[in-house]
């Protein structure tokens, strides 16, 4: 089957698969979309009702502050009408949603000679200043007989623990077009007897307009019920600009046939449920506001589902159309720019498949296909040279690989056989680890005990040649023999350097550090020949410092006339010596920046105290691995730790 036929088959299968996927997607995600729509409506209802709750909370805080100021003044005992007016104007904080605020005392409570005393402050429409309305202070306005006053007063007396109480909604006065609710807070004497109240009048119409705007579909019904749970403030079958409130009497909840069939709303969340009205099934969202008003939003389920189905249909249609256009364009592009050039390329490469390395392809376009042809021609031209070079390289690598295997085997034989962790109770602890590199290396470490002296050494060889491994094997054997003869580390290395430099014909770089500890006295002798300077820990909880230099920059077994200086110090109980090879400090991160000895010292200084030696070594090696980002080091990395414990 040709590439064009395969592409056509692929497109047809893709179209069928995509269409089937969309159908499955539409079916499987329909429930999810519906649930998401319900959650979005609930969030909107919650947000709108929270806006009203904020207004309610602001009014309640304002009236409490108003009442507290008046209670403090009232309990002073000396009262003045002029001072009372100034106090009313100065302590009432006007709000846009508030008509005004007033102070109302029980008969003969504020002034014994005056039956009624009240002050009502308000802000006129175009006047930022508060003014006192004398009508509400006159005998004509007999406020103790007003329903809002008696309702708030009786509730404050019946429930003295309440800080605020709300009246039912009522029409302010004929012709004003303002429906208000009154929130009141009590004013008490020293005996906690109710003597009066502070009030603020709330413009309910603003909140009603805000909530009645929750029209999600054409026939959404928004219902707002007053704090008494019996009166309907608004009930909008359709979106309206006016407020559906009768000027003389509020509609009763009994006129709502669905009200008794639903669950009571809650304050902290938006409750949902279903009911049927006149043959239409609705989903309702209800919440009780902080002042006791109840908000309900009823949406016909058919309209909500139709909205979701329309969205899903157009989304699916748009996706299928775009996919079809992309597939058709891709077919045209692939046929023109890939299928035909590949056909020509296959024909030309058939000659190459027959072994004709002299076959060259004709270069055409400058795009990726033309670059492929040019690269193929270049590859064919160099293939013969590559074959000869590969043969020579394979022969050489086989020779090197055989030599490296022998060298690695000799190094493994040179390592201590008792395992990486050694200790002699009451004398010393020693831990050594060697991580073999992926490209280069030649590290090893060794230790032995001779006449109550612990000898230990760490070594770094420049490569894995047989010459280097032979020198190290001889040095290891000679070191033990010279130690048996009572030689110190400096004498051992100087003797081996004089006698064995002649066999280092390749001038290999060999770095070695040899030390000995008298396990009875703690006398520490050491000598280094070109090796990295070790660190010594001041005490069990101390920081690390570098050992004094001992000809560290001079390699080993290069010049028989060279002598290496031996240094001496006394170890205290618990002190440690940390030895390492340059595979640790010269390892590179992604930016080719080495690990450095300074970072090693910093890592040791911040390392948790009182760790075992193996955990100390692993702590450093993990830090190296995190720094380089490599699971295996490029160069051999050796670590040797000795802890003196007499």
DSSP element (H, E) containing 447? strand 443-450
Q: What are phi and psi of 93, to 5 degrees?
A: -100, 105
The pTM of this model reads 0.44
Q: What are phi and psi of 179, to 5 degrees?
A: -105, 135
CB 619 within 8 A of CB 607: yes
CB 287 within 8 A of CB 295: yes
Q: Is 461 exposed, middle or buried (0-12, 13-18, 19+ CB in 10 A)?
A: buried
Is residue 36 helix, strand or coil?
helix
Asked whether the predicted pLDDT for residue 387 surpasses 50, the reply is no
- Cα–Cα dist 546/118, whole Å: 90
What does DSSP assign to residue 279? Answer: T
218-252: pLDDT as tens digits: 888 888 888 877 788 777 764 333 344 444 567 78
Q: What are phi and psi of 632, to 5 degrees?
A: -125, 135
Cα torsion through 351, 357, 362, 365, rounded to 10: 110
Asked whether the predicted pLDDT for residue 400 surpasses 70, the reply is no
Segment 577-588 shows an average pLDDT of 90
User: Which residue has 């909530």 as its token pair?
Assistant: 211
Is residue 104 helix, strand or coil?
strand
Tokens of 130: 């508060």
- Cα–Cα dist 502/603, whole Å: 41
Asked whether the predicted pLDDT for residue 535 surpasses 90, the reply is yes
461-507: pLDDT as tens digits: 766 555 666 777 778 888 999 999 999 999 998 898 888 777 776 66
CB 422 within 8 A of CB 416: yes
- Cα–Cα dist 472/381, whole Å: 48
- Worst-scoring range by mean pLDDT, 31-45, 98-112, 495-509, 564-578? 495-509
Taking alpha carbons only, the member of 102, 91, 97, 94 closest to residue 54 is 97
Taking alpha carbons only, the member of 213, 231, 211 closest to residue 289 is 211
Question: What percent of the chain lies above the pLDDT cut of 90?
Answer: 21
């Amino acid at each position: 089957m040709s590439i064009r036929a395969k592409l056509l088959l692929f497109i047809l299968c893709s179209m069928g698969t995509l269409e089937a996927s969309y159908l499955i997607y539409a079916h499987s995600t329909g429930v999810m979309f519906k649930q998401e729509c319900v959650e979005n409506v609930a969030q909107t209802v919650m947000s709108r009702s929270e806006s009203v709750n904020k207004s309610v909370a602001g009014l309640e805080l304002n009236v409490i502050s108003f009442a507290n100021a008046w209670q403090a003044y009232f309990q002073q005992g000396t009262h003045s009408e002029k001072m009372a007016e100034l106090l009313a104007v100065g302590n009432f904080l006007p709000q846009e949603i508030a008509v005004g605020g007033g102070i109302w005392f029980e008969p003969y409570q504020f002034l014994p000679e005056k039956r009624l005393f009240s002050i009502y402050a308000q802000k006129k429409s175009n006047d930022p200043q508060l003014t006192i309305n004398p009508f509400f202070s006159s005998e004509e306005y007999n406020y103790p007989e007003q329903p809002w006053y008696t309702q708030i007063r009786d509730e404050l007396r019946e429930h003295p623990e309440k800080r605020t109480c709300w009246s039912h909604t009522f029409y302010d006065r004929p012709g004003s077009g303002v429906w208000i609710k009154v929130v009141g807070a009590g004013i008490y004497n020293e005996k906690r007897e109710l003597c009066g109240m502070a009030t603020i009048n709330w413009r309910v119409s603003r909140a009603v307009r805000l909530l009645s705007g929750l029209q999600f579909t054409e026939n959404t019904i928004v219902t707002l019920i007053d704090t008494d749970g019996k009166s309907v403030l608004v009930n909008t079958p359709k979106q309206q600009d006016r407020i559906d409130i009768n000027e003389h009497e509020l509609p009763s909840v009994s006129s709502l046939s669905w009200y008794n069939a639903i669950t009571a709303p809650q304050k902290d969340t938006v409750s949902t449920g279903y009911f049927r009205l006149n043959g239409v099934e609705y989903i309702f969202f209800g919440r009780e506001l902080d002042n006791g008003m109840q908000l309900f939003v009823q949406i016909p389920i058919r309209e909500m589902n139709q909205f979701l189905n329309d969205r899903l249909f157009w989304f699916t249609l748009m996706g299928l159309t775009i996919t079809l256009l992309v597939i058709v364009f891709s077919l045209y592009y692939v046929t023109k720019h890939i299928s035909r050039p590949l056909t020509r390329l296959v024909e030309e490469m058939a000659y190459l498949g027959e072994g004709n390395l002299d076959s060259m392809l004709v270069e055409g376009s400058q795009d990726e296909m033309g670059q492929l042809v040019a690269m193929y021609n270049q590859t064919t031209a160099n293939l013969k040279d590559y074959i000869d070079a590969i043969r020579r390289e394979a022969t050489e690598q086989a020779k090197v690989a055989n030599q490296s295997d022998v060298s690695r085997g000799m190094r493994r034989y040179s390592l201590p056989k008792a395992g990486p962790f050694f200790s002699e109770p009451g004398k010393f602890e020693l831990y050594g680890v060697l991580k073999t590199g992926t490209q280069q290396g030649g590290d090893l470490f060794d230790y032995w005990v001779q006449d109550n002296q612990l000898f230990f050494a760490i070594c770094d060889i420049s490569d894995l040649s047989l010459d280097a491994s032979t020198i190290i094997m001889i040095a290891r054997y000679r070191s033990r023999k010279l130690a048996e003869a009572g030689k110190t580390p400096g004498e051992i290395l100087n003797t081996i350097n004089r006698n064995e430099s002649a066999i280092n014909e390749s001038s290999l770089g060999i770095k070695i550090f040899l030390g000995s500890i008298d396990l009875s006295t703690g006398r520490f002798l050491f000598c280094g020949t070109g090796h990295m300077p070790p660190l010594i820990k001041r005490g069990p909880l101390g920081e690390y410092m570098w050992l004094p230099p001992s000809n560290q920059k001079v390699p080993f077994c290069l010049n028989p006339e060279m002598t290496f200086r031996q240094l001496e110090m006394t170890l205290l109980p618990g002190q440690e010596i940390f030895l390492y090879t340059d595979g640790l400090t010269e390892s590179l991160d992604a930016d080719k920046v080495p690990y450095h000895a300074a970072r090693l010292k910093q890592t040791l200084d911040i390392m948790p105290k009182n760790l075992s030696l193996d955990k100390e070594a692993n702590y450093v090696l993990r830090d190296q691995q995190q720094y380089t980002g490599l699971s295996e080091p490029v160069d051999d990395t050796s670590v040797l730790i000795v802890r003196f414990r007499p």
